[in-house]
Amino acid sequence: MAGGKIQKKRHQQAPQQQRWGGGVPFEKSKGQHILKNPMLVETIVQKSGIKPTDVVLEIGPGTGNLTKKLLEVAKSVVAVELDPRMVLELNRRFQGTPHSSRLKVIQGDVLKCELPYFDICVANIPYQISSPLTFKLLAHRPSFRCAVIMFQREFAMRLVANPGDNLYCRLSVNTQLLARVFHLLKVGRNNFRPPPKVDSSVVRIEPRRPLPPVSFKEWDGLMRLCFNRKNKTLGSIFRQKSVLSLLEKNYKTLQALQLTQKEQMEEDKVSSEDVAVLADMVEDLGMGNNSDEKDDEEMQVDDTDMVGEASEGSSFKDKVLGVLRQGDFVEKRAAKLTQVDFLCLLSLFNKEGIHFS
C-alpha cells in the first residue's frame, strides 16, 4: 500500500521443552526429574552401604547418572525403567563399557513386574507411586538388606514420624511395623532437571527380621479405626455406633463359625502377601489435623443413640470398653501410641474374640 509500512510478521517460537542428552524431552507426568548434582549422587551411593558382592535394584534409572556410580561399587545392577526412550538411552550409554555385562535393564512398570533377587534397592522414584512401591518392596521375598529411596519430603517425614509428631499417621505406623526407617538427608528441588514443585528427602528402610507375629489384616483394621480420628480418645472412637456395629458383626460371625484356637492361629499366620493390605495410604496424605473438630457433634449423636439399646448391644459395648480399661487405653489417643501399645491393644481385643477383619 502506498505510503504504508510493510510489517514483518514475527514467527512465535514454541516453548522449549526440557531435553536430556539424547534429545528426547522429559515427561513430567511420568515423574521424570533427573538428578543433576554429582555430589548428591555420590552421597546417596555412600549412604547405601553397598558391598562389592551386592546385587542392586535401581528403580527409575533415567539417563543413568546414578546407575554409573552404582556399577562402580556393586557386583551388578538391575534397573527397572518404564519409559522405552530412557531404556534405549541407558543401553546406549553403557554399551561397550566395562560395566555393560553387569547391568540388566528391565522395561516395565515396577508395580506390575516381578522383581528379581536383590540385596539393596536405590531409587529416585516418581512420587505418585511412593506408597504402593514401599509396601511392594517390604513384601518382597527373600527380604533385602536395605532400601535408600528419594521421596517427596512430606511423604518421607510421615514415614519417619514418631508418636506425638504432627505428621504421625497410619502410614508411619504400618511402615514402622515392618521396617526401621531413617531420614538421611534433605534434597532441594534445584538438584533436579527439570526441578519438581516440592522438596525431597532420602530415606533408608531396613526390613525387620523376622516380621512381627501379627495378622496384617487385623492390624490394618485396627489402625483404620484408630487413625480415622487420631486425636480423639480411643474411648470416644469405640463408643461410636458405627464402630460397635462393625465389631459386633465380626464377633457374631466368628462365634457362629465356632473357630477353634488352632484354626484362628492358622488364619492369623504371617504371610508376605498380607503386607499388601497395608499399602492403601492415599487418605493419609490428605488427612488434616483439624478434621476431628467437625465430627464432634456427629460422634456425640452416635453416643446418644447407644443409650436405651437392647441389653445385648449394651453388653457388647461393655465388653469393648472393658478391653480398653484393661489396658488403660480409654483416655489415650492414637496420635501418641507406640508400636508396642498397638500390638498390646490388638492382642487384648483378639483374646476377647473381637476382630477387625
Q: Are strands 200-207 and 179-187 parallel, antiparallel or unpaired?
A: antiparallel
**Contact, 324 vs 261, CB < 8 A?**
no
CA distance 320 to 238: 7
CA distance 271 to 273: 5
> Is there a binding annotation on residue 211?
no
End-to-end CA gap in the chain: 84
> Is there a binding annotation on residue 285?
no
> Is there a binding annotation on residue 295?
no
Q: What angle (nearest 5°) sits at the alpha carbon of residue 149, between those of residues 270 and 275?
A: 15
C-alpha grid cell, residue 114: 516381578
CA distance 100 to 104: 8
Closest CA to 45 of 77, 14, 84: 77
> Is there a binding annotation on residue 318?
no
C-alpha grid cell, residue 288: 488434616
CA contacts within 13 A on the Cβ side of 225? 26
Residue 187: how many other CB atoms lie within 10 Å: 22
Q: Which residues of 126-135 are buried (b: 16+ CB within 10 A; e: fewer)?
A: bbebbbbbbb
Cα of 238 vs its chain's centroid, Å: 27
CA distance 287 to 337: 18
> Is there a binding annotation on residue 60?
yes
Closest CA to 149 of 185, 188, 174: 185
**Contact, 86 vs 61, CB < 8 A?**
yes
**Contact, 67 vs 103, CB < 8 A?**
yes
C-alpha grid cell, residue 52: 562389592
> Is there a binding annotation on residue 109?
yes
Q: Are strands 179-187 and 34-35 parallel, antiparallel or unpaired?
A: unpaired
Per the annotation, binding residues for S-adenosyl-L-methionine are 33, 35, 60, 81, 109, 124
Annotated binding site: 33, 35, 60, 81, 109, 124
